[in-house]
Copies of this chain bind each other. A is one copy, B any other.
Amino acid sequence: MGAQQAAEETRPASARVQRKRGRRIQTIVTTAAELFGERGYDAVNLEDVAERLDVTKGSLYYYFSSKDELATAAIETLGREWTARLEALLAGMSGTPAERLRALIHEHVTIAVRDHPAALRVFLVPREWPDAQHERIKTLRQEHNRLFRTLIEEGVAAGEFTVTSVGTVLQCMHAAMSQAPLWCSDLPEPARSRAIDEVTGTLMMLVGIAPA
């Protein structure tokens, strides 16, 4: 490849190419996220990822230099999307802190149970992951926690919530929400929604809101 061609590529052509590359990467990352979520880091091999994408193993290395890097990207994507959905929910609603917290928990559990039964492997047992991911997971979780923390503190300040310790409530809440897929995901539909509602109601009690 000549230098000139290279120069041509880094500008206009390259923009289209890079967008394409970006989309390709997203496809891969999303697929990887599904698999890592379903089975965990160790139990996923690149052959599986490649097969689900209908490419060969070797191709993955054109986009990611290692399994670790792919996993990092997958987690990143998972975390971002999740937080974005929760933020979107909050942005579009008003009401008392209790109403909003209830909606937030409900949404979180719904995402976990319906879309990412996967994710508990990521957020629940971070030690399963290589150190590189470990830190990133922590950060993502903090961003994620921020949404809940803000709301809870608001409710406490308003005298609406009663808590022992905000930090502890967050940890417990998160643990329960993340593990919910274990007992909810396999339920047939009417029962599954009911189960999600129950979890939501139960977790509201952590801030002192009695069941309806």
Contacts and interface: CB of A to CB of B under 8 A. Distances in A.
Interface of A: 38-40, 42-43, 120-121, 124-128, 162-165, 168-169, 171-172, 175-176, 178-180, 182-183, 195, 198-199, 201-203, 205-208, 210-211
Given A127-B38, A175-B179, A202 B206 contact: yes
Contacts of A198: 164-165, 168
Contacts of A171: 176, 179-180, 183, 199
27 contacts: A39-B128, A42-B43, A120-B125, A121-B125, A124-B179, A125-B125, A162-B205, A162-B210, A162-B211, A163-B202, A163-B211, A164-B198, A164-B205, A165-B198, A165-B202, A168-B195, A168-B198, A168-B201, A168-B202, A171-B199, A172-B202, A172-B203, A175-B175, A175-B176, A175-B178, A202-B206, A205-B206
B40 A169 contact: no
A162 B128 CA distance: 37
Nearest to A176: B172
A175 B178 CA distance: 9
A146 to B, nearest CB: 16
Nearest to A178: B175
- Number of identical monomers bound together in the oligomeric complex: 4
A211 B165 CA distance: 10
Nearest to A174: B179
A82 to B, nearest CB: 18
Contacts of A125: 40, 120-121, 124-125
Given A162-B210, A171-B199, 14 more contacts: A39-B127, A43-B128, A163-B202, A163-B211, A164-B198, A164-B205, A165-B198, A168-B202, A171-B179, A172-B203, A175-B175, A175-B176, A175-B179, A205-B206
B211 A164 contact: yes
B42 A40 contact: yes
